[in-house]
Amino acid sequence: MTTKKGQKLKFIVGKKRSDFDRFTMKLMKRAMESRGVGGYWAPGLRTVVAYDRSYDEEGQTQDAIWKTLFHEASHQFMTLLTKGRIDTPVWLDEGTSSYFEGCVIKADGTIVKNNPAAQRLRSWYMQETGGAGHSLEELIAHERNLGPDSTGMGSYEGEYYSYGWALVYFLLNYEENDRRVYGTPITPDGRVPADYKAVKKAGRLVYRDAYQKYLAHFSKNGCDGDRYYPLEMAKKYFVEEIADPDVPDWAAFEARWRKFTTSLYQEQEEMGMEFADVLQARSRGYLMIEDFERARITAEQADDKRSEDAETYRLLALANLGEGRKEDAIFWMIRHWELVWPAGKNEETDAAIEWLEKNGGKEFIKQYISPTQEAIATLQTLCEETAASGYPKMATLFALHGTQVFGMKPDGLSGFLDLELSKDDEGGPDDYRMWQAAYNKGTEGNRRYVTPELSTDIVTYETDGVLINNPEGRARSGLEYTDMTALRDLRPPFELRGSVIVDGSWGELFLGLDHRKVPKGALLFGMHGENQVVRFDTMKLRTDANSGTAFFVHDQVGGLQFKPEGEIRFHIRVFEDGLADIKINDMKVLALPEEFDTRMWTGSFALSSDDGTISLWKGFEVRPNTAFWPVP
């Protein structure tokens, strides 16, 4: 990588920790003692060194390497900006670098900026609510503002990283009369206040210019030999010069920051798909003031909360057009059309066609949209003729195949599917919501864990299931997801069935995985004393600030015990209202706890084994709520 001034930046990225240590010894002539460090910036060598922590560290995914690279590479720009000074405020350097951990690389290579860095946000909230928090004075007047200490450590301790990130994110995103501070608070049970969904013109960014002034000041002057000087200047730039009557002093500023960041945590971590409505309203507010970048970023966040949403796609089209990204805008408006036209929303369909004609999409209308409409109209006519000739099942299959080929479910075809599905809700021969095997990969799905001390199979696919081995120590099977596209985003109603044999502690079925692969709950199968047990748990993700790792916290909300039979057979039914029940072996059907609501059952699922446990899952099948037919 080369900057505009021609200065080269070198990346050294290892596969595992031993590679990282070897590079570090070669470059720095010393080892990196902290196990929680995934990378670093060596300014004198203009080099970023990092490694893939998911290879041999529990709780890490490959997303971590991108966050590390975004963080460490941003140090280069701070080094250039400050001309290599070592006495800039440590929160400004590390907090700004942590801010870039929220960046996301999309499939087309573009980088989405200004997303909250989820792990930093979780860590901040855990510290705040767990009694291990810090004041802004402790953060800004840190003793390492004057440069590295006697051990050579120049950055602050791990527990401060989330605080540096939180302050920078606040300064760059707090808006005048921000509803995250002035709005009705989100309720403890996760309900979104009505005023959050109202579309309002976005307020100006109150602190962004002040942050830029602060950055420029310390890039030029440094801390002037006084660790408290950055705090004095923060009070000057963020309180005195802003002169907000609601923030007369530093304590009021800190209270505003805490309330904003707490609300941000609730939005990102506790709100489900419904919160996409709020983000859509917020995006429209940005469009009203022609802040197209924030409108796009917020719409992308809405897409993360709830995919396949026509309004989100429309907002992405408008925002991208405003930014001058014409091709991206056309793409999103076509995606919008692909949802509103099949749903019979004629007014929105006409508006999408008119927009495309006006903004350079005439050829897409001619070559894609019009032929698609004609083809589906013909298919609908053929289905009607087939049904009228006395072959309604063939008409259903005809319509089903058509919806799979086109990737959409037009009103004219859905009637043929819904008619048949409603006739036999218990899964008889006329029901096309067929059971689908979730774990039927061949040997290509097998995985081994190999180190000098250990060589073992951790995932082995059998003819009718999957064996998951999680030995004691650092070898971990992780979560075993399904490769079936149709089963990655389940919504009630649907059913799960299968069996499991457990040797050790728990065989784990995780439920409600969102786009980040974070589960909302789990069913644990195992032994307790002389009885077999099925335990029902809700789950939350927590972050260890110092080690930089994430872990799940279980909260048991129910369960049952029964005489051991070796194999535990289960059949779970999830109904449209989110209520669910389970049948274990030949026992009576048992209602699952009320905590297992619609949010618990929305998303994907995964299997795993607890430490020191082997679990064999056989015949694991899903019967989703949409029609399915095994077309190659």
Which residues, 6+ apart, have CB-to-CB distance to 177 below 8 Å? 203
Q: Say whether both 384 and 495 belong to one domain.
A: no
Q: Say whether both 587 and 498 belong to one domain.
A: yes
Residue 484: its pLDDT value, please?
A: 76
Residue 109 pLDDT grade (very low, low, confident, very high; cuts 50, 70, 90): low
- 300 falls within a domain: no
Q: Say whether both 3 and 33 belong to one domain.
A: yes
Instruction: Please check the confidence at residue 631 and state whether its pLDDT lies above 70.
Output: no
Report how many domains make up the chain: 4
**In one letter, which amino acid is 207?**
Y
Among 393, 421, 449, the domain boundary falls at 421
Residue 43: its pLDDT value, please?
A: 65
Q: Say whether both 104 and 242 belong to one domain.
A: yes
Q: Say whether both 174 and 250 belong to one domain.
A: yes
- 134 falls within a domain: yes
Q: Which two tokens stand for residue 338?
A: 């692909």
Residue 435: its pLDDT value, please?
A: 86
Residue 420: its pLDDT value, please?
A: 41
- 116 falls within a domain: yes
Residue 284 pLDDT grade (very low, low, confident, very high; cuts 50, 70, 90): very high
Q: Which domain holds residue 3?
A: 1-84
Residue with the larger pLDDT of the pair 370 and 30: 370
Encode 113-139: b = buried (16+ Cβ within 10 Å), e = exposed: ebbbbbbbbbbbbbbbeeeebbebeeb
CB contact at 8 A, 468 and 457 = no
Which residues, 6+ apart, have CB-to-CB distance to 199 below 8 Å? 281, 284, 285, 288
- 289 falls within a domain: no
Instruction: Please check the confidence at residue 389 and state whether its pLDDT lies above 80.
Output: yes
Rounded CA-CA distance 396/554 in Å is: 44
Residue 19 pLDDT grade (very low, low, confident, very high; cuts 50, 70, 90): confident
Write down the pTM of the prediction.
Answer: 0.73
Q: Say whether both 588 and 455 belong to one domain.
A: yes
Contacts of range 145-153, beta carbons closer than 8 Å, 24 or more positions apart: 145/87, 145/88, 145/89, 145/90, 145/223, 145/227, 145/229, 145/230, 146/87, 146/223, 146/225, 146/227, 147/86, 147/87, 148/86
Q: Say whether both 98 and 57 belong to one domain.
A: no
Instruction: Please check the confidence at residue 162 and state whether its pLDDT lies above 70.
Output: yes
- 309 falls within a domain: no
Among 42, 69, 84, the domain boundary falls at 84
Among 227, 245, 271, the domain boundary falls at 271
Q: What mean pLDDT, rounded, does the chain reach?
A: 83
DSSP annotation of 243: -
Place of tokens 């899952």: 617
- 427 falls within a domain: no
- 249 falls within a domain: yes
- 240 falls within a domain: yes
Q: How does pLDDT run across 441-495, given as a tens digit for each residue?
A: 887 788 776 554 556 778 899 877 899 998 876 666 678 888 777 787 888 989 9
Q: How does pLDDT run across 519-545, given as a tens digit for each residue?
A: 889 999 999 888 999 999 998 766 554
Rounded CA-CA distance 381/402 in Å is: 12
Least confidently predicted of 164-168, 253-257, 413-417, 520-524: 413-417
Residue with the larger pLDDT of the pair 9 and 318: 318
CB contact at 8 A, 618 and 465 = yes
Three-class SS of residue 430?
A: coil
